[in-house]
Chains A and B, each alone.
Chain A
Amino acid sequence: DAMVIQNPRYQVTQFGKPVTLSCSQTLNHNVMYWYQQKSSQAPKLLFHYYDKDFNNEADTPDNFQSRRPNTSFCFLDIRSPGLGDAAMYLCATSSDKSYEQYFGPGTRLTVT
């Protein structure tokens, strides 16, 4: 089935140790998004790609970076995770801007 896949589902990292989360999609969608969702809060958009064009939200910390090597894959790099970065990270895709978004199951990041 066409879907949005995130790996790993659970990630534990140490304070300050770089970590990479991955997202892949079989929907051939142009737009890919990364959201951060903390407990009992709304998802917060970190950045999105429209094809290869990268769009960073103004309040996304520099500690967060992203790569999209091809249409199917997108990566979220956290260069020096802090305790405050512990959250669920959601990847989503849409066929175009302002279309419905399909979310992956998320990666729950724990920082020790």
Chain B
Amino acid sequence: QQPVQSPQAVILREGEDAVINCSSSKALYSVHWYRQKHGEAPVFLMILLKGGEQKGHEKISASFNEKKQQSSLYLTASQLSYSGTYFCGTETNNNDMRFGAGTRLTVKP
């Protein structure tokens, strides 16, 4: 079953912050975050394993609430290069990757 992502789209000005949410009805083993630019392959951002951890990557960080089966991706002080579609991918113990429908992020000057 596909995880639910929100919002579907967001438009930011450079320097603004954004949060993208991902939730699942299943007990998750891991949550992945990827960014895909138009016409390109998805690029890995980070992975969070069950245990409720939070990870950071430059100005992009994420959290995973195991009890709620929810993950959030935090983009701070956005840059033009952050534009793209963000996908969360979730796995249960069966290594069954399911991607959410994606969040289209546009950062304007």
Residues of A within 8 A of B (CB): 33, 41-45, 48, 50, 55, 57, 90, 97-106
Contact residues in A for B98 (Cβ distance below 8 Å): 45
Give the CA-CA distance A44 to B97 in the complex, in Å: 8
Contact residues in B for A106 (Cβ distance below 8 Å): 41
Q: How many B residues have CB within 8 A of the partner chain?
A: 22
Residues of B within 8 A of A (CB): 2, 29-30, 32, 34, 40-44, 47, 49, 87, 91, 95-102
Contact residues in A for B34 (Cβ distance below 8 Å): 101
Known contacts A43-B42, A105-B40, A105-B41; is A100 also within 8 Å of B32 by CB?
Answer: yes
Give the CA-CA distance A42 to B36 in the complex, in Å: 10
Give the CA-CA distance A105 to B102 in the complex, in Å: 19
Is the beta-carbon distance between B41 and A104 smaller than 8 angstroms?
yes
Give the CA-CA distance A48 to B91 in the complex, in Å: 13
| In the A-B complex, the 10 residue pairs with the closest CB atoms | A103-B41, A42-B99, A100-B44, A98-B30, A97-B95, A45-B97, A103-B42, A43-B99, A105-B41, A42-B101
Contact among A44, A50, A98, A102 with B91 in the assembled complex (CB-CB below 8 Å): A98
